[in-house]
Structure 1
Amino acid sequence: MNAHCATRCPCGSGRRLSDCCGPLLDGTHLATTPEALMRSRYTAFVGDALDYLKATWHVTTRPLTLAPDPVTQWKALEIVDAPAPTDDEGHVHFRAYFKEGERWQVLEENSRFVCEAGRWWYVDGDPRLHRLKPGRNDPCPCGSGRKLKRCC
């Protein structure tokens, strides 16, 4: 991830990676909110940072292994709702847009996070997968504002 410090963060914050999720992924900082952890985990999925994903997954629900996914191209993250967390629990409702081959899909999830010893952890979520069928002249699901035929 360090080679892309001048680029925009994939999480959609509009900030540079080096000022957003980069310091979380390289271990310099910890996420201070469930939303920050969600955004950094999305960025980790974009960059196949599997070690970070495992390191931020709560031990009670963490899978034993995670495999790289060279087929999925993560394109955009939309935070639908991220209410202020309580002292030790938080939730984030998000939509993550992606492509597999020529097929567009969106993963929508209500994620649950816990804070233990001052650190936020992803616990689990209620995922739903929807297939998108954008037309050539529809706005690109990546969020660029351009038509699909001129974008992704």
Structure 2
Amino acid sequence: MTRRSCPCGLPDAYEACCGRYHCGAAAAPTAEALMRSRYSAFVVRDEAYLLRTWHPRTRPARLGLDAGMRWTGLEILGTEDGSAFHSVGTVTFRASYQGGSLHERSRFERADGAWVYVDGDFLE
């Protein structure tokens, strides 16, 4: 059996990495882990996970993921706070897709003890 590596770029298999967050077996322990798991959710088109990990005050009703989008890699460029000792954090990243890339500084907060995505600023 071939184990596929996790789309987030870490060396673990998807099931042992972001997959365990997607299925609800564990919660992302840091803002960066949540960012990685959300990127992976875009790759595998897990809209339910993306909505579940979005802060209720900024969450859209639905996403409508583009079936033609092909994500090709994630690069974490920086993190501020977002550990088990913080209530907020930011992650700056570049997510590549076929034909381009998305560069964003995302904000995360804890809601009911779990990390959630709040919003982000697109960067050049």
In the superposition, the TM-score normalised over structure 1's length comes to: 0.76
Unaligned runs of 5+ in 1: 131-152
**Superposition CA RMSD, Å:** 1.7
1:84-103 deviation per Cα after TM superposition (whole angstroms, max 9, x unaligned): 3262100000000001xxxx
Give a deviation string over 1:24-78, Cα, whole Å, max 9, x none: 0001100110000000000000011000000000011101111131121000000
Secondary structure in 1 matching 2:49: helix
How far apart are residue 18 of structure 1 and its match? 1.5
Are the aligned partners of 1:5 and 1:18 in contact in 2 as well (CA < 8 Å)?
A: no
| 1: CA distance, partners of 2:21 / 2:33 | 9
Aligned residue pair count = 122
Tell me: CA distance 1:88–1:66, structure 2 relative to 1, closer, same or farther (3 Å). Answer: same
Matched, 1:121 2:116: yes
- Are 1:26 and 2:23 matched, yes or no? yes
Question: Structure 2 stretches of 5 or more lacking a match?
Answer: none
Rg comparison, structure with higher value: 1
1:3-42 deviations in Å (ceiling 9; x for gaps): x982100000111112110100001100110000000000
TM-score, scaled to structure 2:
0.92
Provide the rounded CA distance (Å) in 1 between the counterparts of 2:89 and 2:81: 7
Q: Which has the higher contact order (CA 8 A, sep 6+)?
A: 2
